[in-house]
Structure 1
Amino acid sequence: MDERGLDRDGAIAREGALDRVPAAFAPVVDAARARIGETFGGARLHSAYLYGSIPRGTAVPGVSDLDLQLALLDEPTEADRADARAIEAALDRAFPQIDGVGILLAGSRALLSELERHDGGFFVACLCTPLLGPDLAEHLPRYRPTSLLARETNGDLHLVLPRWRARAAEAVTGADRKALSRIVARRLVRTGFTLVMPRWGGWTSDLDESAELFGRYYPERVEQMRIAAAVGRTPSADPAALGGLIDDLGPWLAAEYTAVHGEKTPRPLTAPTSPTHLSPSRGIRGAQMM
């Protein structure tokens, strides 16, 4: 992998690996593998993956969370979601070195579908590390930092902003605002980076690097993006900080993104959710950026 996150042929290299997992998190990963296997087994599970800072080797004990993607043989059911929540809670209780656990669920056929080729498929092939079962990446293309990839990963920010505003209005505690600020900030940094990704010609999941790369092309907005990166690392309970992200940087970024890359292909309500586009309910579920 070169300094732009590309392999020798110019495709985006897979960013994580099991041999990069820090020693402090090895027992967590082992326990996650065991619990997933016991709970979902061969009847429901196609494959399981790690993503985020743990497989990238940048996780910090007591700060980082554990992020997992499960590809099921069929579309997820309410029973599957309940089982995933039980695994999340059990692992979070058992290991003080992690600050939360997030499990994403999707059907394997959906992840391999044409609709998800440049979103959920890209996420699995480039941002996820195989943990259990056959690797779906073997059936997916090699990805390059194109406008198509930018559009299909983050070209729906305009749809997310109203949901954030509603959640901000309902946030009554500092904890609520901190949780939402983490979601919002990381998503905005990620969207700011993919806005300029085709021009820069590479991939990164680092928040600070993403903000600085964005600033090369939009210097008038770089200070806001640096603030977003800081809030993404250390969430804020300040309503003004959250409001600035949602009501100023967010709308500008959504409009610029649509102008440059266009809008993401509409998804049905049952489409799989990956951290590259929609933020799941438990914060950002680690997102791909930490």
Structure 2
Amino acid sequence: MELPTRLGTDEAGYVINQTDVTRIQPMFRPVLDAVIQLLREEFTEALHSVYVYGSVGRGTAVARRSDLDVTVIVKREVDVDVLKRRTMLLLQEHPEVIKIDYDIGLLDTVLEPTNHVEWGFWLRHMCACVDGTDLSHRFPYMKPDARTSRALNRDLSDQLREAQVKLKARCMTGSEKRSLVKRMIRGAYLTINVDDQSFVSTITDSLFVLRLYFPNSEIIDDLERGMESEEVQDDWLGKLIEQYGSLFLPR
């Protein structure tokens, strides 16, 4: 395949949003509806809007293996402790997803002009509104941008440091390890997507593009192996994180 691949963009180079409410599979509607109701009850008048993203929003989720990823915009600071506890109970009633992740943003922060390459990109190109007033239409269509990729990768270094601590303490679960490996793959892709003029949505596509740019990389081999493995060993993953940092993290 010729480079740049320009995957995930239209003929003019703008990122295509792969998420749409019409793509949500029927089996995941009940848990999504339950999450929306929970957010309404917990945040009441502070809740502005709710968005779905990830595999559920793209219609590619797999029952009992996929997460439900939700972006929540609120009008003021909110306490999430009760939300977290109630979410754990909700998961017991809805085993079709293994985890529910919330990305919570303040309305004023989202609408701040300096944040449009981060929040604006996220809502316009990665999410679909499922409750409240849709903010995505307030932002323009965008092309792959280094500022966006840096923003999406901002927390990766902290996540890897926290993971190293948990791995040394032998307290990282199998699902946490697999989620981390996927995050590492995504993070690596975001270091090259602007040069590739692309913005893919899935881990499989991220690996595909990485292979084109790093055809003989043992680190990419290991990332793919870690994603597919049923059991990821602590020491192996800890070593992989160290090698990964030397190639993909800023110095």
The TM-score bracket by the shorter chain reads 0.7 to 0.9
Q: Does 1:178 align with 2:191?
A: no
Identity among equivalent pairs (%) = 23
TM-aligned CA deviation for residue 229 of structure 1: 3.8
Equivalent positions of 1:210-225 (< 5 A) are 210-221=206-217, 223-225=218-220
Counterpart of 2:53 in structure 1 is: 51
Deviation at 1:130, TM superposition (A): 0.5
**CA 1:155 to 1:65, structure 2 compared with 1: closer, same or farther past 3 Å?**
closer
Alpha-carbon offset, residue 38 of structure 1: 3.2
Maintained 8 Å contact 2:46/2:75: yes
Task: Pick closer, same or farther for the CA change 1:157–1:50 going to 2, 3 Å.
Answer: closer
Indicate the residue corresponding to 1:10 in structure 2.
13
Tell me, yes or no, if the aligned pair for 1:177 and 1:236 is still in contact at 8 Å: no
Identify the range of structure 1 (115-124 vs 127-136) with the bigger mean alpha-carbon deviation: 115-124
The 3 A distance-change label for structure 1 pair 35 and 236 is same
CA RMSD, Structure 1 to Structure 2 (Å): 2.5
Question: Is structure 2 residue 168 aligned with structure 1 residue 166?
Answer: no
Q: Deviations over 1:37-56 (max 9, x none)?
A: 23323x11110011111110
Contact map agreement 2:6 2:197 (CA 8 A) in 1: no
The answer on whether the counterparts of 1:181 and 1:235 sit within 8 Å (CA) in structure 2 is no
> What code does the residue aligned with 2:100 have?
V
- 1:202-243 deviations in Å (ceiling 9; x for gaps): 21121122112012112232x422432453465644023312
Question: Match of 2:143?
Answer: 144
Structure 1 ranges of 4+ moved more than 6 A: none
Give the drift of 1:179. Answer: 4.2
Match of 1:19 among 22, 29, 34: 22
- Name 2:81's counterpart in structure 1: 82
The one-letter amino acid of 2:237's match is L
| Cα distance per residue 1:60-108 (max 9 Å; x no partner) | 1111121211100113x3x3x0232144223211112111222222212
CA distance in 1, matches of 2:219, 2:93: 37
Deviation (angstroms), 1:149: 2.4
Question: Relative to 1, partners in 2 of residues 1:156 and 1:66: Cα closer, same or farther, differing over 3 Å?
Answer: closer
Could you tell me which of 179, 182, 191 is aligned with 2:187?
Answer: 191
Aligned to 2:249: 254
| Matching residue's letter, 1:111 | V
| Mapped pair 1:204 → 2:200 | yes
Structure 1 residue aligned with 2:75: 73
1:227-283 deviation digits (Å, cap 9, x = unpaired): 32453465644023312321112332114xx6xxxxxxxxxxxxxxxxxxxxxxxxx
CA distance in 2, matches of 1:108, 1:247: 37
Offset, 1:121: 3.1
What residue in structure 1 maps to residue 65 of structure 2? 63
Secondary structure of the equivalent of 1:89?
helix
- For the structure 1 residues 91 and 167, does the alpha-carbon distance in structure 2 shift closer, same or farther, using more than 3 Å as the test? same
1:116-157 deviations in whole A, cap 9, x for unaligned?
332333222211110111112122232211223223322564
Q: Is 1:47–1:134's contact at 8 Å kept on the other side of the alignment?
A: yes
* Counterpart code for 1:71: I
Q: Please, which runs of 5 or more residues in structure 2 have no aligned partner?
A: none
Question: TM-score with structure 1 length normalisation?
Answer: 0.76
- The verdict on how the C-alpha distance between 1:163 and 1:62 changes in structure 2, with shifts beyond 3 A counting, is closer
User: Structure 2: which amino acid aligns with 1:148?
Assistant: R
